[in-house]
Amino acid sequence: MKKLLALPLLMLLILPVSCRKDVTPTHYLTLSLNFPTGFDLGSVPAGTEVKFTNNGTGRERIITTNGSSVVFSILAEGSYDVSCSITLKDGGQEYIFNGVISHFWLNQATIVPMQMVLVKNTGGFIFKEIYYSGSKTQDNKPYTSDQFLEIYNNSSETLYSDGLCISVLEPAPNKPSVWVNANGTLLDRIPCTYHQWIIPGSGKEHPVLPGKSFLFAVDGIDHKTDPNGNPLSPVNLSNADWETYVASAGRDTDSPGVSNLTLMYATLSSMADWVMSNQGPAVILFRLPVPWDQFVANATNFMTKPTSTQTVQYMMIPKSYVIDAVEVVYADEASRYKRLPTELDAGYTYIEAGTLSSKSIRRKAKLIVDGRVIYKDTNNSTVDFLHDLVPTPRINPTAVEY
């Protein structure tokens, strides 16, 4: 009797399957979108489309994400091509990632990783490293001729440095700014002091490849070995791309191996050399919409200092012209004052070791893709920069930094 009862039970188990031989099985698929190491991704934009194309039938199915980097789907068994393109914004930068899986055979419930590859980011020129603190000589005297700025192409496209301008801001880092509106907010125009410089060129004479940089040096010499240098300096700037040579003063040294920037304007013609405050400069990188000599000839682009009786004219740069800006403040917490509007830099950074410490500040490496470093740029120097570093001009980190 037990054998007779087993036969109908077996038939009940088999018959539903045998009746549906023409139905293609379906399987549960979990797709995990994996981003490059170091890209701090909490979620993907809701509504991002992931496309599944059945290679046997040609049918497409599109799944939209709900903000998660994991996509769930039930698909018919078969061979699939899977694709996804995601645009992510992080601070002032935009990143485009593509992911593709070809001829994936789905025949059971599966978890599939999709590696997202960075194909484009729209970040442009940025300050990568700023060495402003200066060093001490063997006689314990201050030495600031070894200051430099390193500008980096943080994008995935070739950019041109022709026409890029640099300047430092007024006032000094340990004084509150008087360049304010009636309500106390900072002006929309940036007051530039000392010398304002521009890279000469017709527009495409100075290409900068993705992941490459160039150096602005106060003096383009090997500061460690040159007789006019300082053996205790941490840098060799003889390979700098540009130097700030002030010919009019007659006391600045012109390094023959380094090209000179073009001096657009100087608030004080008596200054023998350009210098950044070694207590903490606010620096801007900008482009002018008109030829520089035309801009300088327009008196409306200048102002005298508010509340001052002096007649010194300061060049005023609209904040819309600014490409990158970094607020470096005084190390003493009680004397830290903002000079840059929060739209340009929401935070600030500084060197704890103070002046003449031979230390620099540098952006954090956010992502390394195929050997190219992409630096963090959220327009907030408090989180974007590392500080109290040994200067490393032209040297990039080999690991992501947090």
Which of 201-210, 265-274, 356-365 has the least mean pLDDT? 265-274
Look up residue 361 and give its two tokens. Answer: 């500040």
Asked if residue 400 lies in contact with residue 37, where contact means CB atoms within 8 angstroms, the answer is: yes
Does 42 lie in the same domain as 55? yes
Q: Residue 15 pLDDT more than 70? A: no
Q: Please tell me the distance from the alpha carbon of residue 379 to that of residue 383, in angstroms, as a whole number.
A: 9
- pLDDT at 126 (0 to 100): 97
Instruction: Render 171-218 in DSSP notation, one character per residue.
Output: S-TTS----B-TTSPBPSEEEEEEEEEE---SSSSSEE-TT-EEEEES
For residue 380, count other CB atoms closer than 10 A to its CB: 18
Which of 101-115, 352-366, 386-400 has the least mean pLDDT? 101-115
The average pLDDT across 194-217 equals 97
In this prediction, residue 179 has a pLDDT band, given cuts at 50, 70 and 90, of very high
In this prediction, residue 210 has a pLDDT band, given cuts at 50, 70 and 90, of very high
Q: Please tell me the distance from the alpha carbon of residue 104 to that of residue 107, in angstroms, as a whole number.
A: 10
Please write the tens of the pLDDT for every residue from 255-272: 999 999 999 999 987 788
pTM of the predicted model as reported, rounded to 2 decimal places = 0.85
Cα–Cα separations (whole angstroms), residue 305 to 142, 263, 311: 29, 22, 8
- pLDDT at 20 (0 to 100): 53
The average pLDDT across 230-247 equals 96
Residue 18, classed as helix, strand or coil, is helix
Cα–Cα separations (whole angstroms), residue 201 to 165, 209, 210: 12, 17, 20
Whether the CA torsion 349, 273, 144, 174 is positive or negative: it is: negative
Pairing mode, if any, of strands 148-153 and 125-131? antiparallel
Average pLDDT, the chain: 89
Does 335 lie in the same domain as 224? yes
Whether the CA torsion 341, 347, 353, 356 is positive or negative: it is: negative
For residue 360, the number of C-alpha atoms closer than 13 Å in the C-beta half-sphere is 21
The average pLDDT across 242-266 equals 91
Q: Is residue 205 part of a domain?
A: yes
Please write the tens of the pLDDT for every residue from 123-176: 899 999 999 999 999 999 999 999 999 999 999 999 999 999 999 999 888 889
Q: Residue 5 pLDDT more than 80? A: no
Which conformational region is residue 130 in: left (phi greater than 0), alpha (psi within -120 to 50 degrees), or beta? beta
Which CATH number do you get for residue 52? Answer: 2.60.40.1120
Q: Is residue 45 part of a domain?
A: yes
The average pLDDT across 169-189 equals 91
In this prediction, residue 23 has a pLDDT band, given cuts at 50, 70 and 90, of confident
Total of domains in the chain? 2
- pLDDT at 312 (0 to 100): 94
**At which of 90, 106, 121 does a domain end?**
121
Please write the tens of the pLDDT for every residue from 269-297: 778 889 899 999 999 999 999 999 999 99
Does 165 lie in the same domain as 31? no
Does 134 lie in the same domain as 116? no
Residue 81, classed as helix, strand or coil, is strand
Q: Is residue 89 part of a domain?
A: yes
Does 301 lie in the same domain as 359? yes
Whether the CA torsion 36, 42, 47, 52 is positive or negative: it is: positive
Please write the tens of the pLDDT for every residue from 286-336: 999 999 999 999 999 999 999 899 899 999 999 999 999 999 999 888 888
Residue 382 parent element (H or E): helix 381-384
Does 87 lie in the same domain as 59? yes
Pick from 61, 96, 95, 53: nearest CA to 78: 53
Q: Is residue 395 part of a domain?
A: no
Q: Please tell me the distance from the alpha carbon of residue 80 to that of residue 339, in angstroms, as a whole number.
A: 56
Paired with 326 in beta bridges are 283
Look up residue 397 and give its two tokens. Answer: 């980190």
Q: Is residue 159 part of a domain?
A: yes
297 φ/ψ angles, rounded to the nearest 5 degrees: -75, -15
Q: Is residue 90 part of a domain?
A: yes
Does 183 lie in the same domain as 111? no
Paired with 118 in beta bridges are 97
For residue 213, count other CB atoms closer than 10 A to its CB: 22
Does 338 lie in the same domain as 199? yes
In this prediction, residue 372 has a pLDDT band, given cuts at 50, 70 and 90, of very high
- pLDDT at 1 (0 to 100): 36
**At which of 121, 156, 172 does a domain end?**
121
Residue 12: CB partners within 8 Å, gap ≥ 6?
none
- pLDDT at 69 (0 to 100): 81
Q: Residue 228 pLDDT more than 60? A: yes
- pLDDT at 17 (0 to 100): 40
**Which range, 40-44, 102-106, 158-162, has the best average confidence (pLDDT)?**
158-162
Does 301 lie in the same domain as 216? yes
Q: Is residue 58 part of a domain?
A: yes
- pLDDT at 333 (0 to 100): 83
Does 251 lie in the same domain as 103? no
For residue 41, count other CB atoms closer than 10 A to its CB: 17
Q: Please tell me the distance from the alpha carbon of residue 396 to that of residue 373, in angstroms, as a whole number.
A: 7
Helices and strands (H and E) in the chain: how many: 3, 28
Q: Is residue 399 part of a domain?
A: no
Pick from 364, 322, 325: nearest CA to 345: 325
Which of 92-106, 157-171, 209-223 has the least mean pLDDT? 92-106
Does 304 lie in the same domain as 320? yes
**At which of 66, 100, 121 does a domain end?**
121
In this prediction, residue 8 has a pLDDT band, given cuts at 50, 70 and 90, of very low
The average pLDDT across 39-58 equals 82
In this prediction, residue 41 has a pLDDT band, given cuts at 50, 70 and 90, of low
In this prediction, residue 71 has a pLDDT band, given cuts at 50, 70 and 90, of confident
For residue 117, the number of C-alpha atoms closer than 13 Å in the C-beta half-sphere is 7
For residue 110, what are the domain limits?
A: 23-121
Does 174 lie in the same domain as 77? no
Cα–Cα separations (whole angstroms), residue 300 to 284, 315, 316, 319: 20, 9, 9, 15
